[in-house]
Amino acid sequence: MKKLITIIYLLISISIFGQSTLSIFDISKNEKLSNEAFQVFETNKFLDFKNKDTLIEIINDTVYKKTVLNNFFSYQKDWNEIENETFETYKQNKKGYKYIFLDNTMIETYSKIGSYNVNREIKTIYNSKGFIIYQEEKVFVGDLHNETRITINEFDKKNRVIRIIEKTERTKKEENTSKLIEVKYNDDNILITSENGTIICKFIIE
């Protein structure tokens, strides 16, 4: 019985907080940097991959990972279509999704009902090209507001993210967390820096 209760508690913890505090789930700083790099690419709608064959990730002057981009997606991306997307492209024709258009942005709100009585209210703000500039996720356990997760993305004039700010606000303010990812672009090289260190991503045409 104790083992079952422990497993249930662990699942609830992961569901609520997105990760467990147990050390067995810890990952290395290098892996965190690599994950943050792909967070940058995802925020950029993977347009960094356009016309590139290979991605090389370098940490501490050493190649950490090499990824063949031609096989990265299960289907061929239409990069021109992605470049021409607008927030209207992202409008979901789903029940419960609501939209407000304000100051050349689109505000999307909806709710998610999850397991273990964990519910989420999500607000996402897109710029006119369909890039996410703000996302707020309020997490409830039953009727109790547990935490709010906030992501703020800042873009340059080419709609490339240059700063990602993540915050978690909890009932006890001393448990609040924040994270900053900064990005610099130099031709086919991208320099990504966070509290975990620095990773250089080189895109290669072969």
- Average pLDDT of the segment spanning 144-160: 94
Rounded to two decimals, the pTM is 0.83
- Average pLDDT of the segment spanning 107-114: 92
pLDDT score of 25:
54
| pLDDT for residue 20 is more than 50 | no
- Average pLDDT of the segment spanning 22-27: 56
- State the sign of the Cα–Cα–Cα–Cα dihedral 115, 5, 138, 144: positive
pLDDT score of 15:
47
pLDDT score of 142:
85
Q: Rounded to an integer, what distance in angstroms lies between the CA atom of residue 199 and that of residue 50?
A: 20
Average pLDDT over the chain reads 88
Residues above pLDDT 70, as percent of the chain: 87
pLDDT score of 117:
85
pLDDT score of 173:
83
pLDDT score of 17:
45
- What residues make up the domain containing 83? 2-204
pLDDT score of 138:
95
| pLDDT for residue 5 is more than 80 | no
| pLDDT for residue 96 is more than 50 | yes
Q: Is 173 exposed, middle or buried (0-12, 13-18, 19+ CB in 10 A)?
A: exposed
pLDDT score of 109:
97
Q: Rounded to an integer, what distance in angstroms lies between the CA atom of residue 40 and that of residue 203?
A: 14
Name the β-bridge partners of 135: 124, 151
- Average pLDDT of the segment spanning 35-56: 97
Q: Rounded to an integer, what distance in angstroms lies between the CA atom of residue 67 and that of residue 204?
A: 10
Query: Could you tell me which residue, 38 or 146, shows the higher pLDDT?
Result: 38
For the chain, what is the domain count? 1
For 18-22, 124-128, 143-147, 191-195, which range has the lowest pLDDT when averaged over its residues?
18-22
Q: Rounded to an integer, what distance in angstroms lies between the CA atom of residue 104 and that of residue 41?
A: 24
For 11-25, 29-43, 113-127, 183-197, which range has the lowest pLDDT when averaged over its residues?
11-25
